[in-house]
Amino acid sequence: MKEFKEDKYQTRGKTIQLLLALWLSTLIAFFFLRWDMVYLTLPILWLFFVALAFFKPKLDVEVKRLIPHDRILEGEIVEIKLKIKSNERIPSLRIVEDLPKGLELVEGDKEFLISIKKGEVRELSYKVRIRRGIYEFNYVKVEYQDPFGFFKKEKIVELYDEIVGVPKLEDVVTPYSTKGTKVTIGTLPSPRVGEGVEFHAIREYQPGDPLKIINWKATAKTGEIMSNEYESERKVDVVLIVDATYRGKDVFDYLIRATASFMLDCLNNGTSFGLLLAEEVPLWIRVDYGKRHFFKCVDFLSMAKPDKNNMIAYQVEHLLKTKFPARAQILYFSPLITEEGMEALKLLYHYGYKVVVISPNPYSVFEPKSEEEELALKLLNLKRKAQLRRLAAYGIIIDWDIKKPLKSSIAEVVKI
């Protein structure tokens, strides 16, 4: 906690009026030689004295903000508390919380008016509903005004806290095989011997090769010691790609939730994964594994926004050549309503990657209010189905009606 701004006492309008009345009374007494009228100024002077002597605290208060967690699922209601400790008596203390824009206040208020004694500790609270995003609290403002309205003082207490509204997670099923193969180079590690290994080729014996992988038939034919080389089974690498096109803004939150849900699925399966968030400035997080990597990706998904200058095909093509691991499984999250988005899918296919597309239907968010709107939605959905049927040659496409659970939409397409 650190104070970074403190205002001096400000003179209120009432103070100016009373000073003006004091000056006029003195002026009238001088002109009319009625010095007894000076006594009329004594009550005003007395009020000033009382205000200055007893109602002018220094605002010596300590403020702490209590937030239950720094990462909270979107949609949850959270109670935030302010702990106030005063080192002096303040009869009328006003506290104003720096509530970040985007947090929905559902209970209580961001402003409080309390009376507090010296050494007393008060706890104030309010409740907010969390939305996806990062919310920063920077300060708490405390104010005091004396009961006569003569003076006002305010102090800004720097108090930084942060809440990350993370995407809501859904229960999903893995729509691809989690097994992949990579050629083991050099000596086959002993923990992997005999554990799901497949023959790959014959090569010359290398010092350190175990006797069990020596190919005796090839050794007899060539006269040189030959060894078998194997491909070892392991979890396939997964790359998650998010098409952040602005035309899909109505289902963008669903795209983000689905991406986060599949990242959690990868984490639970022990699968390495990478993330491409195709915004105006593409965000690429290289393939890795573990909880730290998961939370890093989730934090970036929490900040993601639809992009009007979508260039996902160009971004995907560039990263295909430089960053994507060979034989990776691609999970592509896209509404498939732009030429760029569809071109990116075709590029992934032509580069030899297996692709599963999670495509929230952008028309499923609308409820028709008339027969004309209902007919228009039917026509749009028919056009979409025809388009997806053509794109099915490039990967497995899951057309997700967002009114249904994602898990059931996957089960309709992929037999797990």
- Give residue-wise pLDDT tens across range 119-146: 999 999 999 999 999 999 999 999 887 6
Contact 357, 396 (CB under 8 A): yes
For residue 220, the model assigns a pLDDT of 87
User: Side by side, which strands form the sheet with 61-66?
Assistant: 61-66, 77-86, 121-129, 104-107
Question: Distance (Å, rounded) from C-alpha 307 to C-alpha 380?
Answer: 23
Question: Distance (Å, rounded) from C-alpha 110 to C-alpha 105?
Answer: 8
Structure tokens, 366? 């609308």
Q: Split the chain (416 residues) into runs of 10 and give each run's mean pLDDT.
A: 48 58 65 63 62 66 92 93 91 91 92 91 94 93 74 86 92 78 35 48 80 86 84 74 92 95 92 90 90 93 87 90 88 94 95 94 90 91 94 94 91 79
3-state secondary structure of 354: strand
For residue 294, the model assigns a pLDDT of 95
Question: Distance (Å, rounded) from C-alpha 382 to C-alpha 388?
Answer: 10
- Give residue-wise pLDDT tens across range 255-277: 999 999 999 999 998 889 999 99
Which residues neighbour 162 within 8 Å (Cβ) at sequence distance 6 or greater?
70, 134, 135, 136, 137
pTM summary value = 0.72
CATH tag for 238-413 (out of 3.40.50.410, 3.40.50.300, 3.20.20.70, 2.40.10.10): 3.40.50.410
| Backbone φ/ψ region at 227: left (φ over 0), alpha (ψ -120 to 50), beta | beta
Question: Distance (Å, rounded) from C-alpha 156 to C-alpha 148?
Answer: 23
Nearest alpha-carbon partner for 307 in 284, 336, 277, 280:
280
First to last CA, the chain: 54
3-state secondary structure of 136: strand
User: What does CATH list as the number for 61-166?
Assistant: 2.60.40.10
For residue 154, the model assigns a pLDDT of 85
For residue 185, the model assigns a pLDDT of 34
User: Can you give the residue ranges of every domain in the chain?
Assistant: 9-54, 61-166, 184-233, 238-413
Nearest alpha-carbon partner for 203 in 189, 218, 192:
218
For residue 162, the model assigns a pLDDT of 93
Structure tokens, 133? 């995003």
For residue 4, the model assigns a pLDDT of 44
DSSP 264-289: HHHHHHT--EEEEEESSS-EEEEEE-
